Amino acid sequence: METEIKTCQNCKRAFQLNAQDFDFFKKLKIPAPTFCFDCRVQRRMAYRNERTLYKRTCQAPGHNEQMISIFSPDNPQRVYCHKEWWGNNWDASTYARDVDFSKPFFTQLKELWTEVPDIALLNINPVNSEYCSITEGNKNCYLVFGGDFNENTLYSTYSFTSKECADTYWISKCEFNYETVDCISCSRLLYSRYCDGCYNSAFLFNCYNCHDCLGCVNLKNKSYCIFNEQYTKEEYLEKIKEFDISNVASVQKIRERFEKHKLDFPRRFARMVHATNSTGDNLEQTKNCKYCFDVFGGAEDCVNTWLAYSKVQDSMDVDRVGKNTELGYECSTIYPGSKVFFSRFTFDSHDIYYSYNNHNCSYLFGCVGMRNKQYCILNKQYSKEEYEAMVPQLIEHMEQKPYIDKKGRIYKFGEFFPAELSPFAYNETIAQEMFPITKEQASAEGYIFKEAEDRHYEPTKTSAHLPRTIAEVPDSIVNEIIQCEHNGACTEQCTKAFKIIQAELQFYRQMNIPLPRLCPSCRHYARLRQRNPIKLWKRKCACSGQVSENGVYKNSASHSHGNDHCEVSFETSYAPDRPETVYCETCYQAEVS
């Protein structure tokens, strides 16, 4: 089959599958999806709670201590503390059950899932970093999510091997960063994005190896520049006094000017490094990868992949996969795996179907919490021959007696877990970050939406009454309850109020920056809005010869197409109605090299 236009059974929009997609489905003996790409991502993300934390009691026998957990106290899921879950006092196979061919398989899997103990929080080897989730090896960190081996880092997501940072998203090997996004090997950098090797600077966009700069775009190997104007060192030191980054009003004025200034320069259609025959954004060392985003350390022959690293191969519709994962489909968090389908949180395993949180396993179908097992269905042990005979029967059963959710969506073999069976409310998960919806919309779509908890506190200070400079902030600020500027009037999981912790106050003073006016969750969403969506549009290069086609940018160099309009077309994550000037790789490099 060359191509087929299908109608998504969730959003009812048309989507296309091509010949390569059907070759992949045929090779893995799985049916084509009935949900479109966006809806497939949304469905997987509705199962992933990274940032919503609670205190609840450990339910392991003999335990009653309070612990930090991604499961709320009223969640029916059985939850063990980290130490007990990894211990040898229990075995997931004791929850084994026979397949009931009178009931939909997803119904049986949900029953098993609720009974088998889940881990309260995936936080491996933390040192004074209890409030971190899906992390490893952090020291003295607070509210770090999805980031590993950081030290003295606060309120950050996907931060790696970084120190003394706060409010960051997707950084690595950085120190003393604040409000930076997509930055590598930067030091003392503030309010910046897409920077590599920059230091002692603020408000930079797409700069490389720059220092002592402010408000600059598309610079390489520069210093002492302000809004892309070159100064001598002495001139710079005098001029920079006009920009007081210790004052919140001054910071806001700089930000507003910087946002306008950024639009005066061309954008690269996609951020790719050593990407061959690939489409997407933020790609590194990829080959034959289509519609892929945030791939680092190599990937080959992948489609619809988001967040992958370390040589992922021949996979489709996967996210958060790495370490030589191959032949994965409709799965999330696989490190590593081979032939993992419709599953999540699978480690060092292969030939896994419809399973969750399994380690060093093979040949599982519908299993939860298993370790060092093979040939199991619903956690029950079978012989190799019994397993191989049972799996085709199960697949046929899922075809003949599918699960039908409250909105009438049909889930046969080949579909990921139904979103309504997620152990989390929609707004507890990162689905709310990528596809934000209101409570009313959630109800209409059949999602659970958790009401905001009554936190039983009253703000003692509004954000409007905070000191304008950090020098004016007293030590007693750590005792105040500060009202968030949004005060809950947003879809950003606003906590309405927040506190400044001691380590945070020390950081602001050291960096000489003003206190934040938003709660950590709203600040996180503000960083997310800086990133482009995981979506592509077909566009043409905006270079029309000597200037951009919108007349905003005048080229500084001669291009290979001369004074004619560049004819290069591409797929980009910049939607056509956005205001940025988007150039192809060749035209962009001519302007920034």
Tens-digit pLDDT profile for residues 54-112: 999 999 999 999 999 999 999 999 999 999 999 999 999 999 999 999 999 999 999 99
pLDDT band at 2; cut points 50, 70, 90: confident
Answer for the pair 431, 448: CB distance below 8 angstroms, yes or no.
no
Distance separating alpha carbons of residues 57 and 69, to the nearest angstrom: 9
Give the tens place of pLDDT for each residue, 409-451: 999 999 999 999 999 999 999 999 999 988 899 988 889 999 8
Q: What is the pLDDT of residue 593?
A: 67
**What b-and-e string marks burial along 6-24, b requiring 16 or more CB atoms within 10 Å of the CB?**
eebbbeeeebebeeebeeb
Answer for the pair 518, 486: CB distance below 8 angstroms, yes or no.
yes
Residue 335 has pLDDT above 70, yes or no: yes
% of the chain exceeding 70 in pLDDT? 100
Residue 454 has pLDDT above 80, yes or no: no
Write phi, then psi, for 247 (nearest 5 degrees).
-105, 125
The stretch 497-503 carries a mean pLDDT of: 96
Give the tens place of pLDDT for each residue, 292-326: 999 998 999 999 999 998 899 999 999 999 889 99
Distance separating alpha carbons of residues 360 and 368, to the nearest angstrom: 13
From residue 225, how far is each of 161, 229, 243, 244, 288 by CA, in Å?
29, 5, 13, 16, 39
Per the confidence metrics, is the pTM higher than 0.85? yes
Q: What is the pLDDT of residue 321?
A: 94
Q: Residue 408's CB: how many other CB atoms inside 10 A?
A: 8
Write phi, then psi, for 549 (nearest 5 degrees).
-65, -20
The two structure tokens encoding residue 475: 């030590």
3-state secondary structure of 219: coil
Answer for the pair 452, 438: CB distance below 8 angstroms, yes or no.
no
